[in-house]
Amino acid sequence: AEALDAVLGALSLPDGAPLRLPELWAQLAERALAMARMPVVVRACGVCLSLLKQRQDVPGAPALAPSEWRPFAQAEWLHGAALGQLAGAKGQAAELSAQLRTQAAAHLATATEYSLHAHAPVHVARCASAFWAHALPLARDGATRAATATMTRA
């Protein structure tokens, strides 16, 4: 746990800005998920994905190469997996569980899209499978059925 905190600090510049290395942020999130350190997963994924947004916000920036999409696909998948684990936690309130599943499904849908950009068919299948594992229970629940139908049409 302390090692993850040290890595989190090492991936930041002296002014607190994150290093622009999405691969490292995605790897940190993966290690944190393996250790069930959900706050670190969420932070690392958030930083990784903010790097994508910053790049997309630059006018005239070149399109990402397929290999450059991989850490972003991984970050979305890991964020969805972390939320999915929280949704399935023993004793989790049904309403909170549904909210977490909805958020997990949204991240997994985006992970599927990014995996397509990355030309990674195995990852596409993994993300889509995880997406449906969350979307189907939501579709069966009357309280979340409409939101799920909207999400699956996107």
Encode pLDDT of 100-136 as tens digits: 999 999 999 999 999 999 999 999 999 999 999 988 8
Half-sphere exposure of 92 (CA within 13 A, CB side): 16
> How confident is the model at residue 108, as a pLDDT?
96
β-bridge mates for residue 141, sequence order: none
> How confident is the model at residue 151, as a pLDDT?
62
Q: What is the mean pLDDT of residues 13-42?
A: 93
Q: What is the mean pLDDT of residues 31-46?
A: 95
Predicted TM-score (pTM) of the model is 0.87
Q: 3-state class of 88 per DSSP? A: coil
Q: Is the pLDDT reported for residue 75 higher than 70?
A: yes
